[in-house]
């Protein structure tokens, strides 16, 4: 399947979009909020509906801090195994939860595991959401990683105009792996500054996003 650069979140070349998946998580998300505040950065948080319902106050806190709220799905289930109707219902339930607990209006969807199932792409579009994946990841789910390794992975591919995938929860990662991603942020701050790149959420990234492909 041909995937447009916009589906991966390729945006304007002087900017990096920073995104966090799988939260909000009381064990780790507050540490990310503190570090982002220290760095003066805003990011996009792709939340899980079931996580947001377990920690509605924290979800609201993320939004109140000026971060962008986005849809990652109700549960972290592979959309390839779901019918279009079930995928759409999952996306809608997550979106409705996020609207309820954060007051934000999500506009982005990222499928769990990044799997481009037709049903999920179709369902997201029917719910008025734009699907976006990522261009750069830190492989921050590995327990044996390190802040330096995460930063090196993020910078391994062209970072100008990139969308960076990290995780503010270890729900799908090795226990404690989020600390590597958290620690990578100060290293990335230096690297981005050296390249003259500003950092922000997807809403500021100038990415048009994806349309449902005619074939998947
Ligand atoms: Zn995820």
- For each of the chain's 216 residues, which pLDDT tens digit applies? 556 667 889 999 999 999 999 999 999 999 999 999 999 999 999 999 999 999 999 999 999 999 999 999 999 988 888 999 999 999 999 999 999 999 999 999 999 999 888 999 999 999 999 999 999 999 999 999 999 999 999 999 999 999 999 999 999 999 999 999 999 999 999 999 999 999 999 999 998 654 444 443
Residue in 21, 22, 140, 170 annotated catalytic:
21
Give me ligand 1 centre to Cα 142, in Å.
14
User: What is each CA distance from 160 to 9, 12, 52, 182, in whole angstroms?
Assistant: 11, 8, 31, 21
Whole-number Å distance, alpha carbon 183 to ligand 1 midpoint, is 19
Tokens standing for residue 170: 């270890």
Q: Please state the pTM of the whole predicted model.
A: 0.94
pLDDT of residue 2: 53
- SS3 assignment, position 21: strand
Torsion of CA 58, 64, 65, 66, to 10 degrees: 130
Is 167 among the catalytic positions? Answer: yes
CA distance 65 to 44: 11
CA of 130 to the centre of ligand 1 (A): 17
> Which pair of structure tokens corresponds to residue 110?
């990222």
Which structure tokens are listed for 206? 């100038």
Tell me the CATH architecture of domain 5-204. Alpha-Beta Barrel (3.20)
Angle, vertex CA 104, rays to CA 138 and CA 20, nearest 5: 5
Whether the CB-CB separation of 70 and 45 falls below 8 Å is answered with: yes
Cα-to-centroid distance, 20 and ligand 1 (Å): 9
24 upstream amide cis, omega within 30 of 0: yes
Q: From the candidates 8, 15, 72, 167, which is the catalytic residue?
A: 167
Per-residue pLDDT reduced to its tens digit, 103-155:
999 999 999 999 888 999 999 999 999 999 999 999 999 999 999 999 999 99
Confidence (pLDDT) at 215: 42
pLDDT reported for residue 209 = 54
For ligand 1, an ion, list residues with CB under 5 A. 21-22
Q: What is the predicted pLDDT for the residue at 3?
A: 61
Distance CA 71, CA 124 (A): 9
- Give the residue extent of every domain in the chain: 5-204
CA of 22 to the centre of ligand 1 (A): 5
42 is an active site residue: no
CA 16 to chain centre: 13
Distance of CA 170 from the midpoint of ligand 1 (Å):
9
pLDDT given at position 5: 65
């Amino acid at each position: 399947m041909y995937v447009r650069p916009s589906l991966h979140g390729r945006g304007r070349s002087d900017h990096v979009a920073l995104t966090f998946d799988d939260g909000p998580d009381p064990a780790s998300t507050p540490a990310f909020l503190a570090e982002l505040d220290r760095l003066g950065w805003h990011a996009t948080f792709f939340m899980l509906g079931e996580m947001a319902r377990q920690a509605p106050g924290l979800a609201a806190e993320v939004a109140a801090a000026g971060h962008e709220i986005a849809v990652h799905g109700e549960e972290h289930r592979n959309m390839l195994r779901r019918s279009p109707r079930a995928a759409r219902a999952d996306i809608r339930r997550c979106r409705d939860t996020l609207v309820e607990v954060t007051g934000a209006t999500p506009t982005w969807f990222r499928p769990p595991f990044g799997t481009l199932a037709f049903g999920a792409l179709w369902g997201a579009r029917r719910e008025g959401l734009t699907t976006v994946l990522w261009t750069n990841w830190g492989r921050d789910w590995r327990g044996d990683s390190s802040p330096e390794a995460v930063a090196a992975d993020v910078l391994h591919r062209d970072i100008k105009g990139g969308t960076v995938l990290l995780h503010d929860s270890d729900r799908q990662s090795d226990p404690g792996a989020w600390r590597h991603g958290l620690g990578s942020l100060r290293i990335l701050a230096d690297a981005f500054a050296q390249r003259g790149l500003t950092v922000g959420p997807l809403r500021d990234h100038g990415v048009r996003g994806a349309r449902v492909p005619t074939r998947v």
